[in-house]
Amino acid sequence: MSEDLPPWEKAREEFVAQWGSLGTQWGINRTMAMIHALLMTSPRPMNTDEVMERLQISRGNAHTNLKELVSWNLVRMAPKKGERREYFEAEKDIWKIFVTISRERKRREIEPAIQLLRDCALRTRDEPNGPGRDFHQQMRDLEEFLSFGVKVADTVVSMKHASALQWAMRLLG
């Protein structure tokens, strides 16, 4: 199939495959990331059958991952008048994608980790000197560090794109 594609479509196929590989590094499965990349680079909304055909995946796999992308707010339903099939489109604004992924990862991963650290510190606050006290202090230090990181991330995602870039340039400069 890819032999018959124009150069931009061949490049798109490479991008979709690579985005799928990157997705696993960000905590989502490969197929979910590939569907996101496909929709993000699609010039029009796509239905489940088109996603299945393009990525050579099962209906169940496509359906499950599309619903998960909708729950992450990275993909939305795009109704077409007179069509019974569901169509999907992805957010294309990269800053909005970054903000959405950051918020979701915070909610799903960081907040539970901070709560675990707080619980561990609370349960060990009365430990006497020695390994128990050291453990308690390490839990507090880790929670403090993660909480600080969350405050920085919250500040960045609350900024407008241009403001965040200016802030980053000053920070890195």
Residue 159's pLDDT is 83
- Same domain? 98 vs 83: no
Residue 118's pLDDT is 97
The structure tokens 């993660």 sit at: 146
Residue 4's pLDDT is 83
Residues 6+ positions from 68 with CB-CB distance below 8 Å = 32
For the chain, what is the domain count? 2
CA angle 21, 102, 154 (to 5 degrees): 155
- Same domain? 105 vs 84: no
- Same domain? 77 vs 114: no
**Domain span including residue 121:** 94-172
**Quick one: CA dihedral 24, 150, 72, 92, positive or negative?**
negative
Residues of the chain with pLDDT under 50: none
pTM over 0.85: no
Give me 101's structure tokens.
């992924």
CATH code at position 41: 1.10.10.10
CA 88 to chain centre: 17
pLDDT tens, residue by residue, 35-68: 999 999 999 999 999 999 999 999 999 999 999 9
- Same domain? 81 vs 7: yes
Write the DSSP symbol of residue 99.
H
- Same domain? 112 vs 156: yes
